[in-house]
């Protein structure tokens, strides 16, 4: 996403409510309740207002709701109430109605972003089985957003103040991830990581490319993928003038990044990047989609059906996502400095 987008008007972040049967409405209302009143006008929630009102009541909140056309007094929570085909859903259960609602919230937010009404989309979680039950056959938010925007590719970045990782592959079987590994895919991933961190204000991002095999294959003893694919990709990136190191054994590269040696690590399959980032900053790690013509950030957890609508959902990750969305627009944190680790 280019940083040339016109932000001369007040910046706006659109928040999609996610699956109404999950924790989305709860974490959104609690997060916005903790945002300074002067900041709430920067957010538009794309969702179902009765469900949001119910979530507010569950948390003991009494917000003033407004609409995008009539924003209301300072401190109001602006809701774009999306028309739904059905509200026949049950708390804590996957359903076609809930999956379709989540789809419609995202679709409305994407159209608003494409029209310049909002600058970033922040997504609350959806459920893949509910989405599929509603006839929307996508593997998750990223694939759905790529479809709605006509994008041919996208990249998943897990980001926090402590550790960030971008993935060359995500929601595929491990065997398929290995099959897909090639120099072009790795170079493309590095280029998008470099562009994103430059947009965040990092003058020369330091990027580490993880090895695939144990100890990067030990010169071919444990596999040749590192030699055949990663080494030439790193060489090409360096020839492009990028600050890239690798391949570096995955059992050390994340530790080195955590110490501050690198800004981001390129991981090659889902768990290679997800396990270390969630281990060190579970509540602060957010999911960022790169390679799309729109900006998107998300909480990095699921619908949590098992605890939904019990008043116990933790909204800390939603606050982190909204802070990161503001950072993507060159703005200060909405919620102040991060909590101590």
pLDDT at 130 over 60: yes
| Residue-level pLDDT at 142 | 84
- Rounded distance between C-alpha atoms, residue 87 and residue 96, angstroms: 10
CATH 3.30.70.580 fits 1-154+293-341, yes or no: no
Closest CA to 146 of 298, 329, 267, 290: 290
Q: How confident is the model at residue 337 (pLDDT cuts 50, 70, 90)?
A: low
| Residue-level pLDDT at 6 | 45
pLDDT at 63 over 80: yes
Peptide bond preceding 247: is omega within 30 degrees of 0, i.e. cis? yes
- Rounded distance between C-alpha atoms, residue 36 and residue 150, angstroms: 36
Domains 1-154+293-341 and 155-290 share a fold: yes
Mean pLDDT confidence for 59-82: 94
Which architecture characterizes domain 155-290 according to CATH? 3-Layer(aba) Sandwich (3.40)
The answer to whether 246 and 234 have CB atoms below 8 angstroms apart is yes
Residues ≥6 apart with Cβ < 8 Å to 112: 14, 44, 46, 80, 118
User: 173-219, pLDDT tens digit by residue?
Assistant: 999 999 999 999 999 999 999 999 999 999 999 999 999 999 999 99
Provide the residue ranges of all domains of the chain, joining segments of one domain with +: 1-154+293-341, 155-290
User: 271-302, pLDDT tens digit by residue?
Assistant: 999 999 999 999 999 999 999 999 999 999 99
- Strand locations in 147-229 (E): 155-159, 165-167, 206-210
| Residue-level pLDDT at 139 | 81
The answer to whether 157 and 122 have CB atoms below 8 angstroms apart is no
pLDDT at 143 over 90: no
The answer to whether 105 and 37 have CB atoms below 8 angstroms apart is no
Fill in the DSSP letter of residue 126. -
Residues ≥6 apart with Cβ < 8 Å to 114: 149, 293, 294
pTM of the predicted model over 0.85: yes
pLDDT at 2 over 70: no
Both structure tokens of 255: 């530790």
Both structure tokens of 215: 């100890």
């Amino acid at each position: 996403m280019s940083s040339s987008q016109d932000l001369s008007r007040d910046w706006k972040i659109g928040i999609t409510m996610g699956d109404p049967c999950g924790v989305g409405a709860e974490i959104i209302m609690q997060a916005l309740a903790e945002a300074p009143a002067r900041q709430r006008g920067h957010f538009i929630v794309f969702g179902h207002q009765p469900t949001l009102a119910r979530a507010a009541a569950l948390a003991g909140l009494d917000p003033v709701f407004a609409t995008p056309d009539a924003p209301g007094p300072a401190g109001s929570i602006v809701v774009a109430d999306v028309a739904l085909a059905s509200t026949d859903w049950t708390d804590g259960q996957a359903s076609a109605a809930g999956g379709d609602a989540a789809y419609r919230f995202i679709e409305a937010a994407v159209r608003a972003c494409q029209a310049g009404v909002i600058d970033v989309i922040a997504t609350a979680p959806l459920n893949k089985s509910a989405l599929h039950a509603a006839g929307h056959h996508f593997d998750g938010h990223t694939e759905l957003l790529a479809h709605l925007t006509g994008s041919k590719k996208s990249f998943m970045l897990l980001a926090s103040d402590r550790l960030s990782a971008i993935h060359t592959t995500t929601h595929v079987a491990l065997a398929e991830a290995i099959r897909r590994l090639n120099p072009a895919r790795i170079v493309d991933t590095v280029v998008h990581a470099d562009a994103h961190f430059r947009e965040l204000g990092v003058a020369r991002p330091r990027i580490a490319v993880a090895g695939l095999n144990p100890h990067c294959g030990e010169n071919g003893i444990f596999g040749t993928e590192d030699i055949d694919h990663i080494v030439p990709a790193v060489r090409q990136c360096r020839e492009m003038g990028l600050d890239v190191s690798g391949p570096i054994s995955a059992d050390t590269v994340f530790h080195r990044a955590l110490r501050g040696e690198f800004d981001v690590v390129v991981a090659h399959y889902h768990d290679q990047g997800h396990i270390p980032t969630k281990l060190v900053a579970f509540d602060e790690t957010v999911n960022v989609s790169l390679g799309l013509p729109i900006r998107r950030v998300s909480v990095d957890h699921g619908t949590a059906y098992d605890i939904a609508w019990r008043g116990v959902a933790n909204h800390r990750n939603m606050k982190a996502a909204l802070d990161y969305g503001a950072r993507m627009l060159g703005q200060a944190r909405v919620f102040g400095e991060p909590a101590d680790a």
